[in-house]
Structure 1
């Protein structure tokens, strides 16, 4: 099983005992304000979701960078995207830190909410 380690984090596949803590995170309307169900994506996308007690500590940036590096360098993907709802400034800041560039604005196919697509390809990525 693949694991991605950073100085502070371990990214791994789900375990059964992750269900209760994730349910708590998903039940928080502050978290879910910006989250969608992840369907209808046009490419391989990275995203993040943390409980409020972990906000503002750099965990999302750290995890996203490690995941992006894994996708582009270890798995050989040529391109990765990330999608945010318009107004989710925190996520867009992370995307910019990763070197992702704004690519397009669209609407959610079911709910109609405005979305922004950011992308990076292998030639633009700085490890």
Structure 2
């Protein structure tokens, strides 16, 4: 089991790193490439389902910049808490930063990654952030 845990964690964290890189680059296509669809997001008290690549509302970047002067985000903590050969639950937190480097907030989340056609991707996200 330790070998499976390590392999699953390594694969899932690589997907999460690509997701964060794409987010910070404002690259919607690269973000979609890290997700499996339909993709579910529960944040700000709202549940949203993105049925296919390209359906994730990418005005998020402009909204975050206009409301909070958001510049980039980074992972703070990540922990693989449950896993199987085809599904993993990762408890994590991330920090959002303004253009001057000050912290907007730290948000805790649970991401569910699934392995489909031998590729890991983010299937669901539940966040205490907006």
Q: TM-score range by the shorter chain?
A: under 0.3
- Give the number of the structure whose residues are more often strand, by fraction: 2
Higher relative contact order structure (alpha carbons within 8 Å, sequence separation ≥ 6):
2
TM-score of the superposed pair, with normalisation by structure 1: 0.27
TM-score of the superposed pair, with normalisation by structure 2: 0.27
- Give the number of the structure whose residues are more often helix, by fraction: 1
